[in-house]
Structure 1
Amino acid sequence: MSETIVMPKLGMTMTEGTITEWYKEIGDTVEKGEPVLMISSEKLNQDVEAPNTGILLEKFGDVEDELKVGDALAIIGEEGEKPSSADKKDTNPVSVDVMNFEKPHSPSDIPAQQGVTKHQQSDRIFITPLARRMAVDNDIDIQSVTGSGGKGRITKRDIDKVLASSDRQTEPAHELAAKQAAATVSAPTASVGEGLSPMRKAIARNMRESLAQTAQLTLHRKAGIDQLIEFQQTLRNELNANNSEVKLSLTVLLARAAILALQELKAMNSTYFDGQLVEFDEVHLGIATSLDNGLLVPVIKNAHQKTIGSLANALKDVTERARIGEADQALLSGSTFTITNLGASGIEYFTPILNPTETGILGIGALQEELILSEDGTVKAIKKIPLSITFDHQIIDGAKAAEFLSILVKYIETPYLLVL
């Protein structure tokens, strides 16, 4: 008996996914557990496996098509088998209802005044969710669009062709720009990041949500880091002498300093969500990790319980998993505070944006060398590191955030406190 593969829900916040690649074509044999296609969600890429062994009978959606959680992706059955009536009922990619997921709208549910003609069941037009939203936003009658997808389904590419056609460019440029600007201002939150890659869309939505729900302010300060560098070298020598494979970077030591500062000033290690303010005893540390196509924030859980060596191993593990695409939802959620380091890019100070729903995020800049006049009257070169703390002014005042930086600087400039 044939079975339907549906768009899975990879995380609590996932509502839709994008088809990234098809590994199989209609008529191909697939084994149970074998990847059939790859999808991408807000932050993750994942293969979708065959639920049983059989033949790929039907595919619903092309590469780059965006479908809602629970939408039908493909049907697998026996050779020559026709999909069951239940399977056929689910072949409309915008009207399946699977496992009590949110039921998407079918094109016939869209009011005519939204710019898309209302169709009767007998002449239903197949259109992907993304293409349908683009049609509504741009007042395109989908009856006039020729679909290039399977079974004539209208896709994003088809709408893009309509938008690029000359008959839509007759409007004066300044009027068109004004309409586009107005549409941007009035666009609902759900449209934020539309047209971007799934990862960039997630970043766009998170950043917009963060700025909309918090009162963000950033304070800057430098800390002397010569003592921390000497402390790092002392620990490295001890590790090498004992044939340890721990890689002790300055980022690890700065993370340890931040963890201790958060435990000393718990107001910065807090969350304000849904009308409730909660201060945490535990520190679950998010580490902003740059990728070729975006940014992920894997989380070191219970970072306050780790020694410097175990913290170094944990940081290496979570960032590597993020970079090679092995980060799952559990690794990317649950942080209480985040660190982002742009020192390798030569940046001194910057304004990091809060990771929802955290109260603070620490930005680390590039080491700076300064000349000072020592007590004996000689000029001395010292190294300092720029620190930027962004905080939610709804929860913490500037004086409290400045206190956090002072505590952090204490641990950086007196590094032996890191092991006490």
Structure 2
Amino acid sequence: MAVEILMPALSPTMEEGTLAKWLVKEGDVVKSGQILAEIETDKATMEFEAVDEGTIGKILVAEGTSGVKVNTAIATLIEEGGSAEVAVKAAPVAAAPVAVVAAPVAAPKAPVAQGARVFASPLARRIAAEKGLDLTKVQGSGPHGRIVRSDVEGAKAAPAPVAIAAPAPAPVAAAPAKAAMPTGMAAETVMKMYADRAYTEVPLDGMRRTIAARLTEAKQTIPHFYLRREVRLDALMAFREQLNKGLEARGVKLSVNDFIIKACAAALQAVPNANAVWAGDRILKLKPSDVAVAVAIEGGLFTPVLKDADKKTLSTLSAEMKDLASRAKTKKLAPHEYQGGSFAISNLGMMGVENFDAVINPPHGAILAVGAGLKKPVVLKDGTLGVATVMSMTLSVDHRVIDGALGDELLKHIVELLENPMAMLA
């Protein structure tokens, strides 16, 4: 018997993807859990594993093909007793069960009957054993309710009420592709306006569509307000230089951004009511300081999340941030590495931008826009004029989550920590 292998939904926001690379060819015998292909989602390149065993019959979508819709047949699998001829004929037929695919996020999951045999891929069983998970309590999203890798990886999350804080925001996951036109003007209308002008049309890839949808949703639905402060960095710069001398032998070099991450994480602990996210009809106050940091990449940006950032040393945060940023630029981050968090940092100061207002990344309660540190004339403590390195910061706040006084308290703590950096080591 031949069945279809369908394009999986490998992230909550994925509606289509690019089949980047096939790791098998027609006629190859594959085992359950074997990696079949690399698929580019709107945010990352992810591996796609087999659920069932069999022989690859016909590859229907060539590698490098973009815009492949979720649930589109990309290949056929010949089960035991089948033939390649059957697979080719079966390709256009819509087979009810999916042979090899991590089912779409929205697909209903089949419950495991009490005392019934548990169907799970070998990889899923191995991960479950490592985590000590009871597979009879895990709902499978694969064909016939089979448990696959994504099911057991997600099973480590807390129960549903708490898990709202970790995944990508529901409104964005459900946003249709057409939301990528934030102005509401149809493409044909805009193109007619410029019909007599030379231009190059740049189609939107999955990442730009997602960014457009998220930013449109953020600006239309989140009541932003902005709080601004300046930070004197001279003490931090001197402290950083001293620390880097001691860390030089270990190959560690701290950046100003590492101190900003640590300061924000500590401030969220000092002002716990601001460590919160908007969950549609309620606010979730988080206990850990999970701080997202915007990383620019070609064609878009990622916001990898540094979890439990308040508990980590500056050198640990520095190493983790370098690793996340490096893998973000090659789209090698897993969804759990860039989803979640309650607070974000966008630092354009390193690019020379003096100040700006950042757009909140839902469901976060706030985002800190960091400008460049510039030499400026200042009034010193003794009342005389002097020169100091001053950095502008703007906190964009979701008024549904954080009120003005609370936002001011959070920003004040961030500033105090940056101007007294030794306090971050306490």
TM-score under structure 2 length normalisation? 0.68
Identify the residue that residue 266 of structure 1 maps to in structure 2: 272
Q: Which has the larger radius of gyration?
A: 1
Identify the residue that residue 322 of structure 1 maps to in structure 2: 328
SS in 1 for 2:217: helix
Residues 368 and 394 of structure 2 are in contact (CA less than 8 Å); yes or no, is this contact kept in structure 1?
Answer: yes
Q: Distance in 2 between matches of 1:400 and 1:376?
A: 31
The AA in structure 2 aligned to 1:90 is A
Identify the residue that residue 75 of structure 1 maps to in structure 2: 76
Residues 9 and 102 of structure 2 are in contact (CA less than 8 Å); yes or no, is this contact kept in structure 1?
Answer: no
Identify the residue that residue 197 of structure 2 maps to in structure 1: none
Deviation at 1:295, TM superposition (A): 0.3
Structure-to-structure mapping, 1:138-157, within 5 angstroms: none
Q: Deviations over 1:43-91 (max 9, x none)?
A: 12235456656454251588233312x3322114476422288765327
Identify the residue that residue 400 of structure 1 maps to in structure 2: 406
SS in 1 for 2:85: coil
Structure-to-structure mapping, 1:297-336, within 5 angstroms: 297-336=303-342
Q: Which runs of 5+ in 1 are unaligned?
A: 104-132, 135-162, 164-168, 178-193
Deviation at 1:416, TM superposition (A): 1.0
Residues 359 and 395 of structure 1 are in contact (CA less than 8 Å); yes or no, is this contact kept in structure 2?
Answer: yes
Q: Distance in 1 between matches of 2:375 and 2:361?
A: 31
Residues 363 and 388 of structure 1 are in contact (CA less than 8 Å); yes or no, is this contact kept in structure 2?
Answer: yes
* Closer, same or farther: CA 377–400 of 1 in aligned 2, 3 Å: closer
Q: Which runs of 5+ in 2 are unaligned?
A: 108-176, 179-186, 194-201
Q: Distance in 1 between matches of 2:302 and 2:102?
A: 30
* Closer, same or farther: CA 261–64 of 1 in aligned 2, 3 Å: same
The AA in structure 2 aligned to 1:203 is I
Q: Distance in 1 between matches of 2:208 and 2:247?
A: 40
Identify the residue that residue 211 of structure 2 maps to in structure 1: 203
Q: Distance in 2 between matches of 1:64 and 1:404?
A: 44
Residues 338 and 361 of structure 1 are in contact (CA less than 8 Å); yes or no, is this contact kept in structure 2?
Answer: yes
* Closer, same or farther: CA 30–259 of 1 in aligned 2, 3 Å: same
Residue identity over aligned pairs, in percent, reads 24
Q: Distance in 2 between matches of 1:176 and 1:20?
A: 33
Q: Deviations over 1:224-245 (max 9, x none)?
A: 00000011011112223xx223
Q: Distance in 1 between matches of 2:69 and 2:383?
A: 70
Q: Distance in 2 between matches of 1:261 and 1:333?
A: 21
Q: Distance in 1 between matches of 2:350 and 2:30?
A: 45
Q: Answer yes or no: is 1:66 the counterpart of 2:72.
A: no
SS in 2 for 1:81: helix
* Closer, same or farther: CA 81–260 of 1 in aligned 2, 3 Å: same
Deviation at 1:206, TM superposition (A): 1.4
Q: Deviations over 1:129-184 (max 9, x none)?
A: xxxx99xxxxxxxxxxxxxxxxxxxxxxxxxxxx9xxxxx9xxx89966xxxxxxx
**Alignment counterpart, residue 292 of structure 2, candidates 252, 273, 286:** 286
Q: Distance in 1 between matches of 2:320 and 2:232?
A: 26
Q: Distance in 1 between matches of 2:220 and 2:425?
A: 39
TM-score under structure 1 length normalisation? 0.69
Q: Deviations over 1:87-125 (max 9, x none)?
A: 653279xxxx9958768xxxxxxxxxxxxxxxxxxxxxx
Q: Distance in 1 between matches of 2:337 and 2:23?
A: 30
The AA in structure 2 aligned to 1:42 is D
User: For the aligned residues, what is the CA RMSD?
Assistant: 3.6
The farther-off stretch of 56-65 and 327-336 is 56-65
Structure-to-structure mapping, 1:158-177, within 5 angstroms: none
**Higher RCO (CA < 8 A, seq sep 6+):** 2
